[in-house]
Amino acid sequence: MKTLTQIPLGTRVLFGEAAKKRRRIERTIFSVFEAWSYQEIIPPIFDYYDVFTKGMGMELEDTLYRFIDREGNILALRPEFTSLVAKSVATRLADQPKPLRLCYCGEVLRYETPRGGRQREFFQIGLENIGGENVRSDAEVILVAIESLKKLGIRKFQINLGEIGYFAGIVERIDFSREDLSKIKTLIDLKDVVGLKSEMDRLNLSERRQHIILSLVHLTGDGSVIQTGRHLVSNEKSHQALNNLENLYEELKRHKMDEFITIDLSEVRGLDYYTGSIFKIYVPGLGFEIGGGGRYDNLLKNFGCDFPAVGFSFSLERLMSLES
């Protein structure tokens, strides 16, 4: 009888004013997307299991809702949209003029503990810019995100902007296991200095490497953080990442949007497909982000097509908790 009278953990039902509110948010954001020439794409609710694991990475593999169809194929319910959009572009839209601007909205599912305004079934609204020029496209998706928030009436927000290549350059020559690297990323993300120091002691890292990694926790602020980060490292990959980040920051300043931007070189966590700029969007009073995104230049190669790309998405549930 329980299965007939209760809904599964991590799902919810919207009706009445709540349903109207969500649809209103969707329409408002889509009006901004359309003004920037983004066209809607509606991918399937499930696809082959490998489509998602190749992009999201092993760390999130256990969050997939997977099943086997009658032909014996391993399938998964979509845990995010970007991999599906990338596959669609590579296999069906590769000949379309670039940049290709696509947007979407719908439910995604991840088997994880419900937390902070997000259930196991949650709704994303976002976009992807595929085949566009690096800095200009990165700036464009951030500008669209800012305009969307303003149109919703959300005036106070902060975009923490980092570059995944900076951290990648730092750890490139350190022989971390996947498990150890994941733990280090988590501790940096939590800004847990004590836990991070303990973990690096366990791994017997040199004092210099410990100093560099511990410094990441504090590399947050205005554009001067980029120069601080530059003096901290000597490897070419990290320096190139900072050059990209600086160019993007200058482009956002040119549009007079730097007031919303916080440079954050401790932004090191994300889906495996991220290759460059990465950002999360926060509002005062919430202990979690309401959206985020980044650059993923290698993802389309999984599907036989090589285009650079960048995108972002909002959590509709979290926007609903803010929008009046």
Q: How high is the pLDDT of residue 182? A: 87
Q: Could you tell me which residue, 150 or 117, shows the higher pLDDT?
A: 150
**CA 146 from centroid of its chain's CA atoms:** 16
Round the average pLDDT of the chain to a whole number and report it: 93
pTM for the model: 0.94
CA distance 2 to 182: 38
Residue 317 tokens, joined: 């549930």
Counting Cα atoms < 13 Å in the Cβ hemisphere of 63 gives 21
Those residues whose C-beta lies under 8 Å from the C-beta of residue 260, and which sit 6 or more positions away, are 146, 157, 158, 159
Residue 173 is predicted with a pLDDT of: 84
CA neighbor of 32 nearest in space, from 134, 126, 159, 135: 126
Find the range with the poorest average confidence among 41-50, 143-152, 167-176: 167-176
Specify the pLDDT at position 272: 80
* Predicted pLDDT of residue 138: 98
Domains of the chain: 2-320 (3.30.930.10)
Amino acid at 246: E
Quick check: helix, strand or coil at residue 96? coil
pLDDT tens figures, 94-141: 999 999 999 999 999 999 887 777 899 999 999 999 999 999 999 999
For the segment 154-211, what is each residue's pLDDT rounded down to a tens digit? Answer: 999 999 999 999 999 999 989 899 889 989 998 998 899 999 999 999 999 999 999 9
pLDDT band at 294 (very low <50, low <70, confident <90, very high): very high
At how many degrees (to 10) do helices 236-254 and 164-171 cross? 170
pLDDT band at 54 (very low <50, low <70, confident <90, very high): confident
- Give the residue from 162, 169, 174 showing the smallest Cα distance to 233: 169
Residues 213-251 have pLDDT tens digits of 999 999 999 999 999 999 999 999 999 999 999 999 999
Give Rg (Cα) of the chain.
20
Determine what percent of the chain is predicted with pLDDT higher than 90: 81
Name which of 264, 262, 293 is nearest 279 in CA terms.
Answer: 293
- Helix count (H) and strand count (E) of the chain? 12, 12
Lowest pLDDT segment from 2-11, 79-88, 255-264, 287-296: 2-11
Residue matched to tokens 């399938």: 75
